[in-house]
Structure 1
Amino acid sequence: MKKIELHIQILIGLALGLCFALLSIQLGWPVSFTINYIKPFGTVFLNSLKMIAIPLVFVSLVIGITSIEDTTKLSRIGGKTFIIYTITTILAVILGLAVANIIKPGEVISEQTRDSLLKLYGGQAEQHSVSFEQTKATGPLQFLVDLVPENLFQALGNNMSLLQVVLVATMLGIALLKIPVRKSKPVILFFSGINEAIIELVGFIMKLAPFGVFALVSSLLIEIAGGSNTYEVFEILYALLWYVGTVVLGLAIMTLVIYPIIMRFFTKKSYLTFLKQIRPAQLIAFTTSSSSAALPVTMERVEKHLGVSEEISNFVLPLGATVNMDGTAVYQGIAVVFIAQALGIKLSLETQFMIVANVAISSIGVAGVPGAAMVTTTMILHAIGIPGVGLALILAPDRILDMCRTVTNITGDAVVAVVVASTEGELTSDNDINKSVTAKSTAD
């Protein structure tokens, strides 16, 4: 009997989770049952992915840098990666602003709905504002201080410290290139062994993916419903339908129009093939809302199914999980304009240029975990003079949109990895990949 492919298993888990949630709401089953006996399995799956995310980033970057023995090549690859990431981020913000200005979703929302959302989510919005004010009070250059950890092991134990881990791993990798080979080789072999073990661990964890996805989706929908009937759930979503539709449209254009153009310009790889091969990573990103959690799967798909060399993948992808948030950039551009429109605030062209600059800068170091973009969105609102309480207008559907923008985030990382590999001549063609897969299947 032919084994069901992983992405099909995940889709089945997703569909069953949706069906269970709707059935549970319709029949009035107690919410406590799902929260106490089903959600924990999803949390275990998500925690398992997060558990290996930081070690994987650290080890992969060290291996990726040390595998590029030519420092000139390292500088070239690093330069290409940063330039492409910067360009795609700026394109993403501009796209978000353009879509929001054309559709004008904030002008559709009624005053009654606005007041209801402000009343319902105002408390949560204030929490994000307080978090931002605490960061702001420490000084304009605090981000430089926060970049260097006081304790590496403490940073390794905190998924919010991903940028610190990236910095230390990069410095360690470069340092290993500078010392004699006889001294660096044992250390590199040590990290290489850990890297292989982590990849195997990813394989074990991914066997739980269908069950984890079922638990996460069903518990999420039931928590959103809060035990109410399905009509009330869809009524809440309908109140923000224009906003949600605008964000999804922006993300779709970035994923299905901008990325194919970039890939077509730099590579000969089919984008349809690319999407087919990266699909399992996209599904994990969608379910977990975490670029960091999806990173192990993204690396596996990019290396084994898209033909990107480990040398490129180990450098580009962990870096992308930290500094490249195209989906978040599209979302923030739309969200800020939506809030301004809903509050009746006109945004000048100069102000919108400020939004582009703020989003591009703030996207660097946004933790790849659910909800992390909220704090930086608050920062952008304050920077252009929009009341932080306006955040309450977008909190209701944010969990769903977080899932969507994470898909774009990891897709962008994979696109850049393919582009950089292609420009370096380290991208295996689709035909060669198919031959390799066929040969492996025959051998098995």
Structure 2
Amino acid sequence: MDAAESATERRGLSLQYQMLIGFVIGLLAGLAVHVGAADAPWVEVITSYVTGPIGQVFLRLLFMLVIPLLFSALVVGIAEMGEIRSLRRVGLRTLGLTVVVSTIAVVVSIVLVNLLRPGYGVDPVLAQAMLADAGPGAHAILARTGETPSGIEAVLAIVPSNVVGAMAGNDILAVMFFALFFGIGIVLTQDRPEVQTLKRAIEGVFEVAMRLINIVIRLAPLAVFCFMFNLAALFGWDLLVRLSAFVGVVLAALGVQMFIVFPLLLIVLARRSPIAFFRDTQEASVMAFSTASSNATLPTSLRVADTELKLPRKVARFVLTIGATANQNGTAMFEGVTVLFLAQFFGVELTLAQQFMVMLVCILGGIGTAGVPAGSLPVVALILGMVGVPPAGIGLVLGVDRFLDMCRTTLNVIGDLVLATIVSAGEPQTDRQGMVEEGA
């Protein structure tokens, strides 16, 4: 954040409070419209031609800049490690912690859904009606699932045959692989002057992307208002009430991870106060909840890590850009709860071995799911087919998915910042001091 932006925030409300105000006003206005004029023609006109497009323009502007930001941040983060030894240390710690924390998340969600059994609390008649209403949406998800590579094809798809095509197709994992490979190449040839010139050019791309994103972010309070107005005006609280058992279990699982597991990790592994951490990351939380996209929140996360958490920039850039796609605890938890909920609803008894397989696929799905709104739904449909549950049953949860997507994205983003904090704390003291001084 530059001096002009800091001065602006000193004169008025900070961005997170502006976003919070937009959130509350949009929610209240939407609920008022839903209660008083839910079927009025003008409501559909406003949501379709005013608030909806404004929100989509905001997201499109962010997504337009995410690929250059993600590529440049990851390349520069790797290049600034200075040597393969530092890269290997940070990379292995990031990978190990991602797998461990994701495993904890999925185990928590599967235990809760087995204990509370939300699939037995839904009225079958109402559920069948909701399935019929959500038929087109479910068919669209299933069509996307058929196009999604699986097994060895999914592994091979991580290595792009054409990086330009991967960028054009918004294939985040493939772009990350290329950026990782490219950054290692810079580390191996960093003694050459032309390579240093290239590195400075990529740093320039990062700075330009961040500057443009800071301009776009100023639209966030208006976009947040539009998102919440649309959600509340079109759906109200009806769907949340109808699927309250399912929603409650998902929120309980996310809450355990957010307010029990994460604080314990911060205290034990990072020696940092959870209260201070959550206070410092509130801007990223509001942005994640509003946009329901880890990738769209990445610029805010990078700024929060730098200005609020004071993490070394080298570590933060590497961990957060990797984490925006690879460390999605909330997504893994949602997938696990949804699969078991639908299995319970359709009377499909899953053995421990099948539940273990679900857990494993959810962990991998949390690592490979696109960090965009509703990016986990094709993975859920894929898992349902694997365990013998009708994939069309995903239509049951489509109505509440937007709200739950907002909640799980918040957990994903905070999980990335927790991971970056822990990895930073694990760096040697001299390296941490050097990294901070170079980033200042």
TM-score (norm: length of structure 2): 0.91
**CA deviation map 1:327-367 (0-9, x unaligned):** 01111111111101111121211111111111112222211
Match of residue 399 from structure 1: 402
1:369-402 superposed Cα distances (whole Å, 9 cap, x missing partner):
0111000011111122212122122111011100
Partner residue in 1 for 2:95: 82
SS of the residue corresponding to residue 364 of structure 1 reads: helix
3-state DSSP of counterpart to 2:76: helix
- Aligned-pair CA distance for 1:26: 3.6
How far does residue 181 in structure 1 lie from its aligned partner after superposition? 2.8
User: Is residue 5 from structure 1 mapped to residue 14 from structure 2 by the alignment?
Assistant: yes
SS at match of 1:356: helix
Alignment of 1:4-403 (within 5 A): 4-28=13-37, 30-31=42-43, 32-135=45-148, 140-159=151-170, 161-179=171-189, 180-222=191-233, 224-225=234-235, 233-403=236-406
Structure 1 residues without counterparts, runs of 5 or longer: 226-232, 434-439
Q: For 1:309, give the aligned amino acid.
A: P
User: Please, which moves more after superposition, 5-14 or 110-119?
Assistant: 110-119
In structure 2, how many angstroms separate the alpha carbons of the residues matched to 1:43 and 1:140? Answer: 33
Which whole-Å deviations, capped at 9, do the CAs of 1:297-350 have from their partners, x for residues lacking one?
A: 001001111011110011100100111110011111111111011111212111
Contact 1:418/1:427, CA 8 A, preserved across alignment = no
Hey, what's the Cα distance between the residues in 1 that align with 2:349 and 2:239? 27
What residue is the counterpart of 2:7 in the other structure? none
| Deviation digits for residues 405-431 of structure 1 (CA, Å, limit 9, x no counterpart) | 000001110000000000103668xxx
Q: In the alignment, is the contact (CA less than 8 A) between 1:323 and 1:363 conserved in 2?
A: yes
> Match of 2:281, SS?
helix
Change (3 A) 1:334 1:42: same
Separation (CA, whole Å) in 2 of partners of 1:418 and 1:178: 27
Please state how far the C-alpha of 1:36 moved relative to its aligned partner. 1.0
Offset, 1:197: 1.8
The more displaced of 176-185 and 392-401 is 176-185
Give SS of 1:396's match.
helix
Q: Distance in 2 between matches of 1:360 and 1:37?
A: 38
Tell me how far apart the structure 2 counterparts of residues 45 and 399 of structure 1 sit (CA, whole Å).
17
- 150-159 or 397-406: which moved more? 150-159
Render the CA deviation track for 1:57-97: whole Å, top value 9, x for unaligned: 10001000000112111101100000000111111111110
Bigger mean CA deviation after superposition, 163-172 or 112-121:
112-121
1:47 to partner: Cα distance: 1.4
Aligned 8 A contact 2:74 2:176 in 1: yes
Identity %: 30
Aligned partners of 2:108 and 2:33: how far apart in 1? 39
Which deviations, in whole Å up to 9, do the C-alpha atoms of 1:265-300 show, x marking residues without a partner? 112211111111111111111111100000000010
Contact in 2 for aligned 1:66/1:176 (Cα 8 Å): yes
Give 1:156 deviation, angstroms: 2.1
CA drift of 1:198 comes to: 1.9
**Structure 1, 42-51 or 18-27: larger mean CA deviation:** 18-27
Maintained 8 Å contact 1:96/1:332 = no
Distance 1:166 1:220 in 2: 32
The one-letter amino acid of 1:190's match is: A
Q: 1:20 & 1:158 partners in 2: Cα distance? A: 37
* TM-aligned CA distance change 1:304 to 1:234, over 3 Å: closer
Residues 348 and 388 in structure 2, CA contact (< 8 A), matched pair in contact too: no
CA distance in 2, matches of 1:306, 1:368: 23
Contact residue 290 and residue 369 of structure 1 kept, 8 A = yes
CA contact (8 A) 2:333 2:362 kept: no
2: CA distance between counterparts of 1:404 and 1:243? 14
Superposed CA RMSD in Å reads: 1.9
- Aligned residue in 2 for 1:437: none
Q: Which moved more, 1:144-153 or 1:376-385?
A: 144-153
Normalization by structure 1: what TM-score?
A: 0.90
Unaligned runs of 5+ in 2: 1-9
Q: CA deviation at 1:2?
A: 4.2
Deviation string for 1:157-208 (max 9, x for gaps)? 333x000110000111111112243231001100111212222222212211
Secondary structure, counterpart of 1:397 in structure 2: helix
Measured in 1, the distance between the counterparts of 2:270 and 2:390 equals: 44
Opposite residue 197 of structure 1, the aligned amino acid is V
Once the two structures are overlaid, the 10-residue window that deviates more, 173-182 or 283-292, is 173-182
Q: What is the deviation of 1:18?
A: 1.1
Give the 3-state SS of the residue equivalent to 2:110 in structure 1: helix
Q: Do 2:34 and 2:232's aligned partners in 1 also have CA atoms closer than 8 Å?
A: no
Between the aligned partners of 2:239 and 2:418, the Cα distance in structure 1 is 35
